[in-house]
Structure formats: C-alpha cells, structure tokens
Amino acid sequence: MAIQTQTPEYARALAENARYAATFDRPNLELPPARRLAVLACMDARLTVEEVLGLRTGEAHIIRNAGGLATDDAIRSLVISQHLLGTGEIIVIEHTGCGMLTFTDEPVQKQIAEAQGAQADLPLRSFSDLEANLRAQVERIRAHPWVKDVPVHGLVYEVETGRLREVA
C-alpha cells in the first residue's frame, strides 16, 4: 500500500500550481485539439513533447507511457481522440537511450514479486530494438479496426541532439 505523506516535491508541485493559477489565461480553450493531432510518446522526462513539436496548450492530445507503446489503453485514448474529438493524424515518438531497452521483463517481474511478496502479473513490454519496436507500434495503430484511416508517423527523438528522425 502506498504511503500518503506530503513530501517536499508534492509541496513544490502545489506551490507551482498556485503560481500558475495566479496568471492563468486559458479558460476558454476548445475541447477538440486545435491542430487535430494526437501524439503517443514515451514518458521519459528528457522528452518534452510540447517543446519538441512546438505545441501549445490546446493544440494536441498527448498520450504517454513507458516506451511510447500502443497498448490497449493508449489505443483506447487514440480512438476517443479521433471519434469524439476529431483528431486526424497520429505521431508516435520513441527515443534513444530509452530505459525500456535496458532490461527484460522476467527478471524485473521477479524482482517486483520478491519486493512485494506477490507475483507481479504485469507485462512490462521491454524491447531490444528501438526502431523495430517503433515500427511495430505504428503498425499496431494502423491495423487496429477502430482507429480511423489517418496518417500515422513514427519518429525517434534523439536525446543527444534534440532532433527527430523519421522511422515509420
């Protein structure tokens, strides 16, 4: 069970929100994203999707998870984005130096099980080939029967240079 305490980082987050809210000037943004774009990206803290793509608040849906994987939940979000909110293009962004390249599932699942005292029945979905994995995510999205026939692009963000490289 998670422990609920107020940490310095949590207090800082609340203070930063108070600062943000004091000058908030976007109460009337439309619900659909203005650029009709949905982005699926890795959760890595070195990848700031908005900065990398020049996005402003209200311009795109950004879905993030470990590895930028087209999981069932990510696809659920893309389907809602398209069918209810009108997005018409998808970009998948993975990156160099991804932590998902540094392990395999079984040993980590075992480590979690030992630490928690219970079997870790959680697919971690690590991968060993960044570009092959990115192509597979793009293809999974394109092939999904509920995803509209729209452009789906696959890009690698190079953490060393800040550049995007097209892969799929």
Q: What DSSP string runs through the chain?
A: -------HHHHHHHHHHHHHHHT---TT--SS-TT-EEEEEE--TT--HHHHHT--TTSEEEEEETT----HHHHHHHHHHHHHH---EEEEEEETT-GGGS--HHHHHHHHHHHHTS---------S-HHHHHHHHHHHHHH-TTS-S--EEEEEE-TTT--EEE--
Question: Does residue 146 contact residue 79 with C-beta atoms inside 8 Å?
Answer: yes
Q: 24-64: per-residue pLDDT in tens?
A: 999 999 999 999 999 999 999 999 999 999 999 999 999 99
For residue 121, pLDDT over 90 is answered with: no
For residue 168, pLDDT over 90 is answered with: no
What confidence score (pLDDT) does residue 55 get? Answer: 98
What confidence score (pLDDT) does residue 120 get? Answer: 77
What confidence score (pLDDT) does residue 119 get? Answer: 86
User: Residue 29 corresponds to which amino acid?
Assistant: L
For residue 1, pLDDT over 80 is answered with: no
Q: 80-110: per-residue pLDDT in tens?
A: 999 999 999 999 999 999 999 999 999 999 9
Structure pTM? Answer: 0.93
Q: Which domains does the chain have, with CATH numbers?
A: 29-166 (3.40.1050.10)
**In Å, what is the CA distance from 146 to each residue of 75, 136, 143?**
9, 17, 9
What confidence score (pLDDT) does residue 12 get? Answer: 96
Q: Which two tokens stand for residue 75?
A: 């696809």
